[in-house]
Chains A and B, each alone.
Chain A
């Protein structure tokens, strides 16, 4: 029985900290960093990576297109 595992990368420098991805994610994968980027924005990151299923919703909703999504089928 295969399980879907996902992961996302966030271009932290280009993230504007709008948090829409955090709210959009159904699996509560994303959170906002403590640190700020060079523009002073907190940026999104995978706070809870195990839960990611690579659904691409965060990538789609990101206004700045800073999220890339990966997905793989893992044989259990």
Chain B
């Protein structure tokens, strides 16, 4: 059988979601953002909620999120996505609202808004991309940057004594009663992408069932910021990022499932 015989519409088993707009992603080659953005679209398409969903884009590499989707998206000021989500959800409680935030947006400038939306148990989905760096602005230190990791604002490596410790924020948020689901994933292998998709689906179903806030963290590469090829960046991520930010469920259905006493 020739390749041309295989490539026929009736044989199609995978393509990008029809909810993806024409605009090409502005992400660097190999960046995890692209996979997450596409996976969210797949979940929304499969759940049939494209007419009832509103996404909120942050400030960061994903600032142009609204260009990539064929559903309604609102741009938020840096760090404020969870407050914007609250503002939307409280007047449109039947819509699906999700934020998409980086580590600066969620865990630096937006810490207050994030924490309190979680504390209120807003029925929203928070997608948190943790790549330990500020990508869009050229690779500065983020709250989640690892000790010793080099960025443009810690060129000799993060010194915890003067610059603070890597902030493992999702287990902190998991302790809030308003939060029902916290889970950490990655997109460096197809198996992990499939797990992420399940987690996102669960998160949106939690919102449908009004169970409170769901947080899906994705530990991702930033090959440009880390100065590595995409493959090497993923390998580095597995070796280093996963140690501080291990993958897995942290809270499910309102119950903590991660060992909060394990060294982190």
Which positions in A face B, CB cutoff 8 Å? 5-7, 9, 14, 16-20, 23-24, 41, 46, 49, 54, 56-57, 59-72, 74
> Is B34 in contact with chain A by the CB < 8 A criterion?
yes
Q: From DSSP, what is the main secondary structure of chain B's interface residues?
A: mixed
A14 to B20, CA, bound (A): 14
Query: Is B11 in contact with A24, judged by CB distance below 8 angstroms?
Result: no
| Tier of interface size on chain B | 35 or more
Which positions in B face A, CB cutoff 8 Å? 1, 3, 5-8, 11-17, 20, 24-25, 27-35, 38, 187, 189-190, 193-194, 229-231, 234
Name which of B17, B20, B32, B190 has the most chain A CB atoms within 10 A of its CB.
B190
- Provide the residues of chain B in CB contact with A9, threshold 8 Å: 7
Query: Is B13 in contact with A18, judged by CB distance below 8 angstroms?
Result: no
Residue ID in chain B nearest A57 by CB atoms: B190
Query: Is A69 in contact with B12, judged by CB distance below 8 angstroms?
Result: yes
- Provide the residues of chain A in CB contact with B229, threshold 8 Å: 19
Q: Total contacts A to B, CB within 8 angstroms?
A: 96
- Also in contact, A70 and B32, with CB within 8 A (given A18-B230, A56-B14, A60-B193): no
Which 4 pairs, one residue from A and one from B, show the smallest C-beta to C-beta distance?
A: A63-B34, A65-B16, A18-B30, A16-B29
Query: Is A68 in contact with B15, judged by CB distance below 8 angstroms?
Result: yes
B252 to chain A, nearest CB (A): 24
A22 to B210, CA, bound (A): 42
Query: Is B190 in contact with A7, judged by CB distance below 8 angstroms?
Result: no
- Provide the residues of chain B in CB contact with A18, threshold 8 Å: 29-30, 230
